[in-house]
A = this chain, B = another copy of it.
């Protein structure tokens, strides 16, 4: 194998990918090197003649450290230039082929500040959402319109109930899309109308976030309708529509804060804090929903804290993304969640409010009240 040049790396020309690799100490150096090659030139390095490619394009193993029995944490420098400064190609370079190798998990990506600035991050961020719903310092609340199958009128009635109760954000259930029983245009008109009316009546500033989904042409059309109807936010599942499509949708076609949903984001072998926290933030999510620990999903407290940290902590000039833990939460857990996450948070309670039946208005008021009291 050719000796590789060891020129010092200019910080702004390389990003760092950290992988967790299932390999014993005896094999990790070769495995790490293979990953660096797979994720850059994807061919035998000894067959590359051009010094510029060896110097500027081939990935480099930066460090290797033990991380549990027969596992290692490998940091690889990848040339920023290989990403073409574009989202789908960034994913390709960070994890494209290596996603096909089950011994590797993508843990972290560290970008030069200029790259973060180019992607742009949230346009409204935590402060923008606070301003929208009129909640300067307290934690926020979110409820979901469900089940799918309800008519636009029934969903609108539910939205009115949540709004009068003082819930800050009322979102479509993530399963509600553009189905025959509640077509997008008709539903968004009815629900937004109900939320606006209930806001006037109750002096709340609840925002409705309809689900925007589908292929690019549908996304653009739905964004147009949502703006026409005057919705306050939108809900998008970045992994369902693709991260590059998400980024362009947000930057070119959406003029309100974006709430990201984690559908299809759990099985990527990409660490949840990186995907749901950092990447969704960089690509423009103003808030990010994730499964809270101790609910229907298996995320640990540590994973949840990692997501919240990636979403909220200072990162170059990027605005913060509001963490939205949910997934099987109930009123009883509100104090503990506020204790765990602090106030820069939006608590999402879905099914357990609806399970209250006739007590739904009261239960919703109790939820909003408990969070507002903090």
Contact = CB atoms under 8 A, between A and B. Distances in A.
Interface of A: 34, 38, 40-44, 46-48, 50, 52-53, 56-58, 81-84, 86-89, 91-93, 95-97, 99-103, 146-150, 173-175, 177-181, 213-218, 237, 240-245, 247-248, 252, 262-270, 291, 296-299, 327, 350-352, 354-357
A8 to B, nearest CB: 20
Given A88-B240, A177-B92, A150 B245 contact: no
A91 B238 CA distance: 12
Given A88-B214, A89-B213, A99-B264, A56 B149 contact: yes
A91 B43 contact: no
A373 B178 CA distance: 52
A173 B89 CA distance: 12
A294 to B, nearest CB: 14
A86 B214 contact: yes
A298 B214 CA distance: 33
Oligomer: number of copies = 2
A52 B310 CA distance: 42
A175 B298 contact: no
B241 A84 contact: no
A113 to B, nearest CB: 20
Given A57-B149, A262-B100, A178 B89 contact: yes
A175 B268 contact: no
Contacts of A175: 40-42, 82, 92-93, 96
A268 B267 CA distance: 5
